[in-house]
Amino acid sequence: MKREILAYRRPDGSVGVRNYVLILPIDDISNAVAEAVEKVVNGTLAIPHPYGRLQFGKDLELFFKTLIGTGLNPNVAAVVVIGVEPKWTCMVAEEIAKSGKLVEAFWVEGFGQLRTIEKAARTAVKFVEDATNLRREIADLSELIVSLKCGESDTTSGLGANRVVGRFTERFLEMGGTVLFGETTELTGAEHILIQRIKSEQERQKFIRMFDEYQQLVKSQDVDLLGSQPTQGNIAGGLSTIEEKALGNLQKIGNAMVDGVLEPAERPPAKGLYFMNTSSAAAEAVTLFAAAGAAIHLFPTGQGNPIGNPIVPVIKITANPKTAQCMSEHIDVDVSDLLQLKISLDEATDRLFSRVVETACGRFVKAEILNHREFVPTKLYPSA
């Protein structure tokens, strides 16, 4: 299989497949400035979000980690950071700047919105000139971090699309790649299998602690999760229980062994396969993987979930023949012939592999073409 790609090498050694000039708001009330800069400077991308004020403790830590990680993502060339006040804004900018990337911070207090827009826009113009002058270079696919998360799954996911991603994962790890997966609650019923796959006792205990925490949270709400887990879409597609959904979910890592267990948005310490403690909501999980450095995301779907991410191409794979047809503008890789056993698992995986290489070299995925830019930082608890 061809594994050479043309990609962007960043000053910190990471390899990216896109080249964004990011306009990063630190708080909800700075979205307006970020979006105004995006409007007047071609080639920039603002990622508005509803958070950043009065968060505290672990929730605030995760929020910062998510913003900084997003700026550090290898698909980003330069970052204009905009906040309401200078302290948090400069802190985030300084953390991103450690990577050697072009970064500058602006804040609204003391200047007002219009002057801030002008200053930030002038910097953004320079950043776009520099970023668009960077060239793709030869790299190996295995230099990338790839993340996995499925959504609007149905039974065709466990039978088809997730198994294809699983075989891809086995191959990609064999060539020295790095893979992230998560979805802590959606492992309920398959956790015993995952626990056996985790290489070290220390990491195994870490996973068990994370898993038990989520179980306690679910139990503490004292509600029937049917309809939320599995979702109404899952049920329509034939999934009956969380156990069945979890067993299908786990197909995404094939028979691979897990090297380590990460906190939300934590960057993998080395190459290999890593579990990350994430929500199972698609946009939240993909946002956390992107903050940990994922350059490409693989998203198997059954009933058809349109999710994208502002900075990471999300490749949609389905084995459901109805979805492949009725939602074709969302589907990048159709493996529905696998359900009829018309092709082998390896042949279906070749199809995905080629698309990953093409995507890495610059081919747009459907979610990018359809303007899906879901940036959803995970909120752990209410703000102060």
- Footprint of other proteins on this chain (CB under 8 A)? 154-156, 158-159, 163, 188-190, 193, 215, 218-219, 224-226, 229, 235, 237-238, 240-244, 247-248, 302, 320-322, 339-341
CB-nearer residue toward other proteins: 322 or 351: 322
HSE value, Cβ hemisphere, 13 Å, CA-based, for 335: 34
Structural Rg of the chain based on CA atoms: 20
Least CB distance from residue 203 to other proteins, whole Å? 23
CB-nearer residue toward other proteins: 25 or 302: 302
Diameter over CA atoms, the chain: 66
CB-nearer residue toward other proteins: 133 or 221: 221
Q: Which two tokens stand for residue 33?
A: 């400035």
Q: Are 183 and 280 in contact (CB under 8 A)?
A: yes
Tracing tokens 């400035």 back to the chain, one arrives at: 33
Least CB distance from residue 292 to other proteins, whole Å? 28
Q: Which two tokens stand for residue 156?
A: 């065709």
CB-nearer residue toward other proteins: 339 or 361: 339
Q: Which two tokens stand for residue 359?
A: 């995507």
CB-nearer residue toward other proteins: 190 or 307: 190
Least CB distance from residue 235 to other proteins, whole Å? 6
Q: Are 122 and 35 in contact (CB under 8 A)?
A: no
Least CB distance from residue 168 to other proteins, whole Å? 16
Q: Give residue 132's identity as a one-letter amino acid code.
A: T
CB-nearer residue toward other proteins: 128 or 235: 235
Q: What are phi and psi of 8, to 5 degrees?
A: -95, 125
CB-nearer residue toward other proteins: 177 or 248: 248
Q: Are 86 and 64 in contact (CB under 8 A)?
A: no
Least CB distance from residue 229 to other proteins, whole Å? 8
Q: Are 314 and 151 in contact (CB under 8 A)?
A: no
Least CB distance from residue 238 to other proteins, whole Å? 4
CB-nearer residue toward other proteins: 340 or 371: 340
Q: Are 300 and 307 in contact (CB under 8 A)?
A: no
Least CB distance from residue 371 to other proteins, whole Å? 29
Least CB distance from residue 243 to other proteins, whole Å? 4
> What span, in angstroms and rounded, lies between the C-alpha atoms of 213 and 92?
29
Residue-by-residue DSSP string for 133-174:
T---EEEEGGGSEEEE--BS--HHIIIIIHHHHHHHHHHHHH
**Nearest partner of 49 among 314, 367, 305, 379, judged by Cα:** 379
